[in-house]
């Protein structure tokens, strides 16, 4: 048996490293600048609608105590949820540099141990991200364009059509990739954060006493004395942190230090100043009708601010779409979604991908929400409910991670997780009242994705059980090969086995029908590891099971691109005698049918799984195998 040691990701990326960028690959300021354009778009544009939504939940003329209490809740929500939970705690627990709920699930060993409860809860949290992800572009773009009402009120009837056009254009250009314009995102967001900070300062100058709200006592007093009104107001307050999950999920693209620096020294101060400025002008007597954010701006500067806000919300929407693509690829690699067509739009950036099916489905959902709700204030009634659920699930997973990964005692881990869970449950409870006002939409979208994940996994497991039941585990075929009783013809054959036995059914079927075998044969069993990238010490294991018949067990990380031809070129370079340019690939193509004995999956599950399986992206695309060198072997599979 021979073992091939390889650099991280090399087998999966045609010799190019697939590992995430880190502070060693570029200067820390450059990575922090890039992170501003990708990571902080959602949370950075939340001042456009958060304080307005909070005030909509109060009276038309809120008392000073209400305004100060609401501001205090917003500031301390940013501190407790974003700074403490995500920036400090969650980002200290990573899966080889990768973050996010799926990476956290894999870190907890859900594929190595029977942890079905963790799997189901974690998958539901991941699915909910898609639900609110459809709302983010709609509410962001609408809230920015509504600033035109302060410039030319007569244009308010054109806000919705303009938002639809912008969103259509945004989704339409995804196929081109964002590599060319991505470099502009960071500088534009720097201008945005500088602008909102200066606007906030101008408001604070008008009523400096607003800074008293930095004292958490104001928020606590409001919650204690406000009754049910204060509790309902938490649903609006939560909107200030709806993009916090992205900080953890995008950690693998930039590293924790750039994200932490950008948050601490740019984003957090700008957000606090702007929210304080909005509260200050309310205390100073500014009207609360319309969008408070645009009341901060002098009228001569409103047109450029609306343009800047629109660009910033487009960047925020782009970040959400890219995040959906990245999460989809992780789910596909981990086996929780069917194979989808994934297009790499840039050779230099692994994160630059395009998933057509996700793009168009997300576009339909976003446009439907935009047209159906019609305004940012109405969308705010449905926004946040799914993300608050995801945050609570993340807390539960972090509890296990603090204990199992960091080695904390149950007492310490439980105390920290309980404090975070109390905050999460308060926000989730406040958001649940939004269900009848539209909150059911993101919940329905998330539940749909979750059901598809569970059905796909159940069907794939049933297929694997059937494969194992049909496998021949004896070595008769290899004895025949060794004795020279099977004709060998020129060329190389690669059987993509998806099986853990020496003689997989696809090889036996080929021998039965063709009565011959190529001179060189590779039986390739590909597995996805529970880590994002194949570590330096990981390997491809190859051993010879018969003369010039090799069994290769290959592992790719769930953030890597499986590339079988590139792998074979690397194997050839190590001295194996075959021509990697002359390889015929054999792939099994299974047609799913229902079992006749009634012991299979429920009929509805089998029907949906069969539909998904028929519409999967071809294995040739998934493994980057040239289609003109593929032989598909079909068979029925009763599940």
β-strands 583-593, 487-496: how paired? parallel
pLDDT at residue number 476: 65
164: confidence class by pLDDT, cuts 50, 70, 90? very high
Same domain membership, residue 163 and residue 83: yes
pLDDT tens-digit readout, 523-549: 888 887 767 777 644 667 888 888 888
More confident residue, 556 or 490: 490
The full length of the chain comes to 639
One DSSP character per residue, 480-546 reads HHHHT-SEEEEEEEEEE--SSSSS-HHHHHHHHHH-EEEEEEEEEEEEE-SSSS--TT-EEEEEEEE
Structural domain includes residue 625 = yes
419-449 as b/e: b if 16+ CB within 10 A: ebbebbebbbebbebbeeebbebbbebbbeb
90: confidence class by pLDDT, cuts 50, 70, 90? very high
Helix, strand, or coil (residue 67): helix
72: confidence class by pLDDT, cuts 50, 70, 90? very high
Q: Return the minimum-mean-pLDDT range out of 6-20, 30-44, 476-490, 498-512.
A: 6-20
Check pLDDT > 90 for residue 274: yes
Range of the domain at 295: 39-311+345-438
Distance CA 398, CA 417 (A): 7
Distance CA 381, CA 442 (A): 11
Structural domain includes residue 31 = no
pLDDT tens-digit readout, 418-432: 999 999 999 999 888
H helices then E strands: how many in the chain?
A: 25, 9
Predicted TM-score (pTM) of this structure: 0.81
Same domain membership, residue 492 and residue 382: no
User: How many structural domains comprise the chain?
Assistant: 2
Distance CA 601, CA 392 (A): 32
Same domain membership, residue 399 and residue 514: no
Check pLDDT > 70 for residue 89: yes
Same domain membership, residue 528 and residue 488: yes
Question: Of the spans 246-260, 364-378, 482-496, which averages the highest pLDDT?
Answer: 364-378
Same domain membership, residue 577 and residue 516: yes
From residue 16, alpha-carbon distances to 13, 132, 344, 348 in Å are 5, 35, 14, 9
Structural domain includes residue 532 = yes
Check pLDDT > 60 for residue 502: no
pLDDT tens-digit readout, 278-318: 999 999 888 777 788 999 999 899 999 999 999 999 988 88
pLDDT at residue number 287: 79
**What integer best gives the mean pLDDT of the chain?**
83
pLDDT at residue number 179: 58
pLDDT at residue number 336: 87
CATH number of the domain within which 360 lies? 1.20.1740
Distance CA 621, CA 94 (A): 30
pLDDT tens-digit readout, 319-330: 888 888 888 888
Instruction: Give, for 588, the enclosing helix (H) or strand (E).
Output: strand 583-593
- pLDDT average, residue stretch 619-637: 84
556: confidence class by pLDDT, cuts 50, 70, 90? confident
Structural domain includes residue 4 = no
β-strands 539-546, 2-5: how paired? antiparallel
Check pLDDT > 50 for residue 611: yes
Same domain membership, residue 184 and residue 141: yes
- What token pair was written down for 621? 């695309």
Structural domain includes residue 631 = yes
Same domain membership, residue 352 and residue 489: no
Same domain membership, residue 301 and residue 217: yes
- pLDDT average, residue stretch 433-462: 88
Same domain membership, residue 433 and residue 374: yes
Check pLDDT > 90 for residue 31: no
Same domain membership, residue 270 and residue 148: yes
Structural domain includes residue 67 = yes
Distance CA 488, CA 516 (A): 6
Same domain membership, residue 405 and residue 482: no
Question: From the centroid of its chain, how far is CA 320?
Answer: 8
Distance separating the N- and C-terminal Cα atoms of the chain: 36
Structural domain includes residue 331 = no
Distance CA 372, CA 164 (A): 11
- What token pair was written down for 340? 């989808």
pLDDT at residue number 411: 94
Same domain membership, residue 220 and residue 181: yes
- Are 124 and 393 in contact by the 8 Å Cβ rule? The answer is yes
Structural domain includes residue 489 = yes
């Amino acid at each position: 048996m021979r073992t091939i040691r390889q650099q991280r990701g090399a087998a999966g990326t045609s010799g190019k490293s697939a590992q995430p960028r880190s502070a060693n690959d570029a200067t820390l300021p450059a990575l922090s600048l890039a992170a501003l354009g990708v990571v902080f778009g959602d949370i950075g544009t939340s001042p456009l609608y958060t304080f307005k939504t909070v005030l909509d939940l109060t009276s038309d003329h809120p008392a000073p105590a209400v305004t100060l209490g609401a501001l205090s809740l917003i500031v301390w929500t940013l501190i407790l949820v974003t700074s403490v939970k995500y920036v400090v705690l969650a980002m200290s627990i990573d899966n080889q540099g990768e973050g996010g709920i799926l990476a956290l699930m894999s870190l907890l060993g859900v594929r190595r141990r029977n942890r079905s409860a963790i799997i189901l809860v974690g998958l539901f949290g991941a699915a909910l991200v898609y639900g609110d992800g459809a709302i983010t572009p709609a509410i962001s773009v609408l809230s920015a364009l509504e600033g035109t009402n302060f410039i030319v009120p007569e244009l308010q009837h054109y806000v919705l059509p303009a938002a639809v056009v912008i969103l259509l254009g945004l989704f339409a250009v995804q196929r081109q990739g964002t590599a060319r314009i991505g470099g502009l995102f960071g500088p534009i967001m720097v201008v945005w954060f500088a602008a909102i900070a200066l606007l906030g300062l101008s408001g604070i100058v008008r009523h400096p006493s607003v800074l008293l709200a930095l004292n958490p006592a104001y928020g606590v007093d409001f919650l204690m004395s406000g009754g049910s009104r204060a509790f309902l107001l938490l649903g609006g307050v939560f909107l200030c942190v709806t993009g916090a999950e992205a900080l953890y999920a995008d950690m693998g693209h930039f590293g924790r230090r750039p994200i932490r620096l950008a948050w601490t020294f740019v984003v957090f101060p700008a957000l606090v100043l702007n929210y304080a400025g909005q509260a200050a002008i309310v205390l100073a007597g500014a009207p609360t009708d319309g969008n408070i954010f645009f009341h901060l701006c002098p009228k001569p500067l409103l047109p450029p601010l609306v343009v800047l806000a629109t660009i910033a919300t487009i960047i925020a929407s782009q970040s959400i779409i890219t995040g959906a693509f990245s999460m989809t690829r992780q789910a596909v690699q981990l086996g929780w979604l069917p194979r989808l067509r994934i297009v790499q739009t840039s050779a230099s950036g692994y994160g630059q991908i395009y998933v057509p099916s996700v793009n168009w489905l997300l576009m339909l959902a976003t446009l439907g929400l935009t047209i159906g709700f019609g305004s940012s204030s109405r969308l705010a009634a449905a926004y946040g409910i799914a993300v608050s659920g995801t945050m609570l699930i993340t807390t539960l997973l972090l509890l296990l991670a603090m204990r199992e990964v960091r080695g904390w005692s149950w007492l310490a881990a439980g105390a920290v997780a309980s404090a975070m869970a109390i905050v999460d449950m308060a926000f989730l409870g406040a958001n649940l009242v939004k269900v009848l006002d539209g909150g059911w939409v993101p919940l329905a979208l998330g539940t749909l994705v979750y059901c598809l994940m569970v059905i796909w996994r159940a069907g794939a497991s049933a297929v694997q059980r059937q494969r194992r039941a049909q496998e021949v585990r004896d070595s008769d075929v290899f004895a025949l090969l060794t004795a020279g009783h099977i004709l060998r013809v020129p060329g190389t054959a690669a059987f993509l086995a998806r099986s853990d036995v020496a003689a997989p059914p696809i090889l036996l079927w080929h021998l039965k029908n063709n009565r011959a075998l190529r001179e060189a044969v590779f039986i390739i069993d590909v597995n996805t590891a529970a880590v994002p990238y194949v570590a330096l010490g990981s390997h491809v294991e190859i051993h010879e099971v018969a003369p010039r018949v090799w069994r290769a067990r290959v592992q790719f990380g769930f953030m890597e691109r499986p590339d079988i031809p590139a792998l074979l070129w690397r194997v050839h370079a190590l001295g194996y005698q075959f021509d990697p340019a002359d390889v015929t690939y054999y792939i099994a193509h299974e047609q799913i049918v229902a079992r006749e004995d009634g012991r299979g999956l429920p009929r509805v599950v089998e029907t949906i799984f069969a539909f998904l399986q028929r519409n999967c992206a071809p294995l040739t695309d998934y493994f980057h195998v040239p289609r003109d060198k593929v032989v598909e072997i079909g068979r029925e599979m009763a599940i």
